[in-house]
Structure 1
Amino acid sequence: MGTVMLGVSIAVPEPYGSLLQERRAGFGDAAAHGIPTHVTLLPPTEADESVLAEVEAHLARVAAAGRPFSMRLSGTGTFRPLSPVVFVNVVEGGEACARLQQQVRDEPGPLARELQWPYHPHVTVAHGIAEDAMDRAYEELADYEAAWTCSSFALYEQGADGVWRKLREYAFAGGPPGVPPQSTPLGEPAPTHH
């Protein structure tokens, strides 16, 4: 068995996803059409094909423990000069994304790994392109706004052609959006509110 390149992310839904993908392509980012618009939970990670079933079971457990949450994008940011990236900011839902990505990478799970940079939820709109095009992306999307309820995340595999394809979607178990998950340790009674 060979290895596969996997990623886990939250898709930016329509109509926002296509619009941002078109804008990214318009800035001259050749990779735009191979990368669905997303918020990364697990960056590209090489894994043995033999662990795919284990990965899927792990992600199903993470989703089962999750609840839908509000996501809101607003304005732009950049990782320059450390990394040639311009992005749209996640201004609501970032904490939930941070919790999720930690659960996805938790030991002893099949996707346990260190990150190159501290986790920062964002939606890339330009990567590795000319500086003036990066500046244009930063300026032209400065007023960008989008909001939705995130109710799932997905596992993607990168093909030999460089295109990321969705393998499976994982819906959160439920509960009303915006309700924080209960963090009561096992065996302890939940706090009661009067």
Structure 2
Amino acid sequence: MPRLRLGVALLVPAPLDSEIDGLRRALGDGALERVPPHLTLVPPVNVRVEDLPEALAVLRQAAARHSPFVARLGPPTTFAPATATVHLGVHEDEGGEIVRRLRDDVFVGPLERTLTFGFEPHVTLADDALDDRRAAALVALSDYVVEVPFDRVHLLQEQRHGDAHRRWVPVADVPFGPRRVVGRGGVELELVVSSLLDPEAAAFESGEWPDDEPHSAATAVPAGCRPVVVTARRRGEVVGVARGGVGPDRRELCSVLVARDQRAQGVARQLLAAFGHEADQASAGGDLHDEPDGTAVGGRAQEHDRGDARGP
């Protein structure tokens, strides 16, 4: 039975990720090129392919229980002699308590596994440091303390790349905050705004994308923009996806795709509204619906000259 090797983590955001990677590089961390700087919530676990939707649902449910927070890390310490790490521990303050509660929320169902050691939240700088190098690092970095903001949780998958090396690749992200449900009391949709197209949404796109149209345009992030993916679910099933990019002075909708059996029910309109709201957060401009080249009329997403918008 096919299985996926997954993990759940808080990824250190930019620009602090580069700072942490600089320390990892200086300490000769062997995992530097294999995994981004992170705080592990669920260590590697084998999950059946058919259980992936449940794993993604666990992340959505957990993220809905929390708000963005700040964790204070450092100074460096070690788990030696149990393991020869150099790592940044998480302070036992409000941020540390949130990390522990979040870990309990995601360590369930298909993501639960037997552990060798108890949970000690940390960001690894080196996982196999020699004694003399480890001792020197703890002294040299004894004043290193950093506050790291976290606004989302990530699902990572171990993948083999062209060079045959295995790497941990983020495949889904869920921002912290209450569930966004529209159409309560009628045709309800759960909307998630993320940076990554999660595996369920990717499978949906592959199955629904028109055969006579290129898919590549939807995957390109416009220059100067951060990626925005809006995924709509109805009763847990993906029924629509919008993709594009937003920046301080630019917004570009690349694609809107709605399930064939869900069209003419306002799904595209809700996707566009969520994308527009995200764009408004990135700039002082108006809502996407006010722009002439990206409108929603009667629930139908119109084509415009900056990408393909397909809807009911």
Q: TM-score, normalised by structure 1?
A: 0.82
1:83 paired with 2:87, answer no
In the alignment, the residues of structure 1 paired with residue 2 and residue 114 of structure 2 have an alpha-carbon distance, to the nearest angstrom, of 22
**Number of aligned residues:** 172
The offset of 1:58, in angstroms, is: 1.4
For residue 165 of structure 1, give the secondary structure of its aligned residue in structure 2. strand
Work out the CA distance in 2 between the residues paired with 1:156 and 1:75: 26
Picking from 160, 173, 184, the partner of 2:177 is 173
Residue of structure 1 in register with 2:111 after alignment = 111
Name whichever of 112-121 and 76-85 sits farther off. 112-121
Per-residue CA deviations over 1:42-77 (Å, capped at 9, x if unaligned) read: 111121222111111111111112222221113111
Q: Secondary structure at the match of 2:77?
A: strand
In the TM superposition, 1:7-156 aligns within 5 A as 7-91=7-91, 92=93, 93-106=95-108, 109-156=109-156
| Counterpart-to-counterpart distance in 2, 1:162 and 1:137 | 28
Question: Counterpart amino acid of 1:100?
Answer: L
Q: Which range moved further: 11-20 or 163-172?
A: 11-20
Q: Secondary structure at the match of 1:62?
A: helix
Return the offset for 1:86.
1.2
Task: Tell me which of the two structures has the higher relative contact order, counting C-alpha pairs closer than 8 angstroms and 6 or more residues apart.
Answer: 1
Secondary structure at 1:169's aligned position in 2? strand
Classify the secondary structure of the residue corresponding to 2:22. Answer: helix
Distance 2:33 2:140 in 1: 20
1:82 CA drift (Å) = 0.7
Structure 2 CA distance, aligned partners of 1:128 and 1:60?
34
Larger CA Rg, structure 1 vs 2:
2
Q: Tell whether the 8 Å contact from 1:21 to 1:33 is kept in structure 2 after alignment.
A: no
Output the amino acid matched with 2:99.
Answer: C
Q: Secondary structure at the match of 2:111?
A: coil
Deviation at 1:152, TM superposition (A): 0.9
What is the deviation of 1:30? 2.0
Q: Equivalents in 2 of 1:24, 1:129: separation in Å?
A: 11
CA distance in 2, matches of 1:112, 1:148: 26
CA deviation after TM superposition for structure 1 residue 105, in Å: 1.2
CA RMSD of aligned residues (A): 1.6
State the one-letter code of the partner of 2:128.
G
Q: Which runs of 5+ in 2 are unaligned?
A: 179-312
- In 1, Cα distance between equivalents of 2:122 and 2:66: 20
CA deviation after TM superposition for structure 1 residue 126, in Å:
0.9
Contact 1:88 1:141 in 2 (8 A): no
CA shift in 2, pair 1:14/1:137, >3 Å: farther
Q: By how many angstroms is 1:147 displaced?
A: 1.3
CA–CA distance in 1 between the matches of 2:112 and 2:74? 31
- DSSP-derived class of the 2:110 partner: coil
Shift of 1:141: 2.4
Deviates more, 1:74-83 or 1:23-32: 23-32
Q: Distance in 2 between matches of 1:129 and 1:77?
A: 12
The question of whether the paired residues in 1 share the 8 Å contact of 2:41 and 2:106 is answered with: yes
Unaligned runs of 5+ in 1: 175-194
Quote the Cα distance in structure 2 between the aligned partners of 1:112 and 1:88. Answer: 24
8 Å CA contact 2:30, 2:126 repeated in 1: no
Instruction: Tell me how far apart the structure 1 counterparts of residues 72 and 102 of structure 2 sit (CA, whole Å).
Output: 16
TM-score (norm 2): 0.52
